[in-house]
């Protein structure tokens, strides 16, 4: 080992992680998923879907913009919980990143209208165990969606080993730590208003007929 590497305690084991970190900072960006409208998607029409995709693209752009700003440590010394630029960056970071993730989960679990709209036995079993029956789960999920301003999500709560229907009023408000999203429904007005206007319940009911249970089953299989 060359002596200069050992000087001051900076050996290869210290330099390599720093090099990898700087490389990742320079080249890592979140890439958009190229979602396409198909005939299997029955809950929304193409126009509503494509408007929504443009909004998703905006979140991808914003999280990359915020990540870029945070790399330069903007105003850490002035960080303040009442108001500061750093606070705005950190609030934007979780809002934009959750916006990306939740939209991807939502678009992925659409399209059951094409023939996959039946939960597999393992999903049904878990739902029955935690809610009593599929009908009772559905009743609660629909009510959760009606009561939410942002998202209704069926999660697997890894702390208490059970499914829950949870309500989020925004991308970064209402998530439960240790929870794994299984089924995601966007109930922001932008998700349906172009097509359904104020008929939110009709949108929710049609979503329930368009769930891609194959995707939901794959997510359940992880936990
Ligand atoms: Fe949305």
pLDDT tens-place string over residues 144-165: 999 999 999 999 999 999 999 9
pLDDT on residue 23: 74
Distance 45 CA to ligand 1 centre (A): 15
Mean pLDDT of 212-219: 94
173 and 134 fall within a common domain: yes
115 and 191 fall within a common domain: yes
Distance 190 CA to ligand 1 centre (A): 6
4 and 112 fall within a common domain: no
Distance 208 CA to ligand 1 centre (A): 17
In this structure, is the dihedral angle defined by the CA atoms of residues 52, 66, 169 and 207, taken in order, positive or negative? positive
The band of 119, judged by pLDDT with boundaries at 50, 70 and 90, is: confident
65 and 89 fall within a common domain: yes
Task: Output helix, strand, coil percentages for the chain, rounded to the nearest 5.
Answer: 55, 10, 30
53 and 9 fall within a common domain: no
Distance 188 CA to ligand 1 centre (A): 6
Question: pLDDT higher for 122 or 60?
Answer: 60
Distance 151 CA to ligand 1 centre (A): 9
Segments forming the whole domain that contains residue 8: 1-30
Distance 24 CA to ligand 1 centre (A): 29
Q: What is the CATH classification number for the domain harbouring 201?
A: 3.55.40.20
- Number of separate domains in the chain: 2
**Contact at 8 Å (CB) between 62 and 92?**
yes
CA–CA gap between residue 223 and residue 113 (Å, rounded): 26
Close Cβ partners of 219 (under 8 Å, ≥ 6 residues apart): 180, 181, 182, 183
Choose the weakest-confidence range: 22-26, 34-38, 120-124, 166-170. Answer: 22-26
Mean pLDDT of 127-143: 97
151 and 166 fall within a common domain: yes
51 and 148 fall within a common domain: yes
56 and 18 fall within a common domain: no
**Contact at 8 Å (CB) between 32 and 108?**
no
89 and 6 fall within a common domain: no
76 and 18 fall within a common domain: no
101 and 7 fall within a common domain: no
Distance 52 CA to ligand 1 centre (A): 6
Distance 111 CA to ligand 1 centre (A): 16
């Amino acid at each position: 080992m060359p002596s200069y590497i050992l000087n001051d305690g900076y050996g290869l084991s210290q330099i390599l992680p720093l090099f990898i970190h700087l490389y990742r900072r320079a080249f890592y960006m979140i890439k958009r998923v190229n979602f396409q409208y198909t005939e299997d998607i029955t809950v929304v029409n193409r126009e509503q879907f494509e408007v929504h995709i443009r909004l998703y693209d905006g979140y991808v752009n914003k999280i990359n913009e915020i990540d870029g700003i945070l790399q330069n440590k903007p105003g850490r010394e002035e960080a303040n919980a009442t108001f500061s630029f750093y606070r705005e960056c950190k609030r934007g970071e979780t809002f934009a990143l959750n916006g990306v993730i939740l939209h991807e989960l939502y678009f992925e679990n659409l399209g059951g209208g094409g023939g996959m709209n039946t939960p597999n036995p393992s999903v049904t079993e878990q739902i029955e165990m935690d809610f009593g029956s599929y009908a009772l789960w559905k009743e609660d999920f629909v009510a959760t969606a009606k009561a939410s301003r942002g998202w209704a999500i069926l999660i697997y709560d890894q702390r208490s080993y059970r499914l829950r229907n949870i309500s989020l009023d925004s991308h970064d408000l209402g998530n439960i730590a240790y929870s794994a999203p299984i089924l995601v429904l966007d109930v922001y007005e932008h998700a349906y208003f172009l097509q359904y206007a104020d008929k939110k319940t009709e949108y929710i009911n049609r979503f329930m007929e368009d769930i891609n249970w194959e995707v939901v089953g794959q997510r359940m299989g992880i936990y």
